[in-house]
Amino acid sequence: MTRIVLAPGSQRGAAAMETAAVKGRSLWDDARRRLMRNRAAVTSMVVLALLLLAAIVGPYLTPYTYDQINKNDVWAHPLVNGHLFGADSLGRDLLARLLIGLRVSLAIGVVATAVSLVIGVAWGATAGYLGGTADELMMRIVDVLYSLPFIFFVILLMVTFGRNFILMFLAIGAVEWLTMSRIVRGQTVSLKHKEFIEAARAAGLSQTAIIARHIVPNLLGPVVVYVTLTIPAVIMAESFLSFLGMGVQEPLTSLGTLISVGAQDRDLAPWLLIFPSVVMVVTLMSFNFIGDGLRDAIDPKDR
């Protein structure tokens, strides 16, 4: 048996290369590797990408439009007259309406979450960093808004500004930012006494610059995780409003609206409830698995 012995210089070179590789691996590189090892998260990302692609491209590929009425296809069963998923009480193709509904629900989820992200991060980071009276006042405002029932707040906005599609983004985003601000505020309080923040103060940076350049970037981990969990919560909120008849209006539709209509017609056409419910469950589970995977990948306690 032949033994291969490295020269001392070669051994030192190999050790140096290994050390450099370890040092060159950032925390985000490590988090990405951990995320890619999570099969549930990776599978969910693939499924969510396919759903997003279907929502964007699918409506242009269906033989019917989402608002096309076909009197001869009322209550058409799946796979009849080109209706892959069947038709509703007006003969409208369920697949086309399902793809449009998925697009609307994802749009509301993403845009409303973006609204809550901007407001919540700015509010929470400012309150946590300033502390003292400013922190108390800002967080008491959050507590007061928390005390308002969600439905009451949305109805109040609709009565004041009227019912329209854009209002859905604003109404839901204006409520969801409250939890985001609390999470960000707690993280900011734990960060503001770190050495690099003290160094920034000593360098003469203003409070606004410290918050923007040092506090907010270091909040990215928990914020990203919370965003993936907020999007399904927003989709559920929109579905709840649509189920009550206060959401998206005809002929436009959403997953919540389709489920509401399907629940009313489930005895005559059960497919109207089954297919939207399946899409809703798959979408929400995908976001939740991705959020769990990101949480496990970013959490420093698991490293």
- DSSP class of 247: S
| pLDDT tens, residue by residue, 138-149 | 999 988 888 877
Mean of pLDDT values over 150-163 = 69
21 vs 18: CA distance, rounded Å? 5
Cβ atoms of residues 150 and 237 within 8 Å: yes
Largest CA distance in the chain: 86
Instruction: Specify which of 121-135, 151-165, 198-212, 230-244 reaches the highest per-range mean pLDDT.
Output: 121-135
Query: What is the share, in percent, of the chain residues with pLDDT greater than 90?
Result: 19
pLDDT value of position 235: 84
| pLDDT tens, residue by residue, 42-87 | 999 999 999 999 999 999 999 899 989 888 888 889 998 889 999 9
Go through the domains of the chain in sequence order and give each one's CATH number.
Answer: 50-302 (1.10.3720.10)
pLDDT bucket at 176, cuts 50 / 70 / 90: confident
pLDDT value of position 27: 59
| Sign of the torsion formed by the C-alpha atoms of 147, 151, 157 and 159 | negative
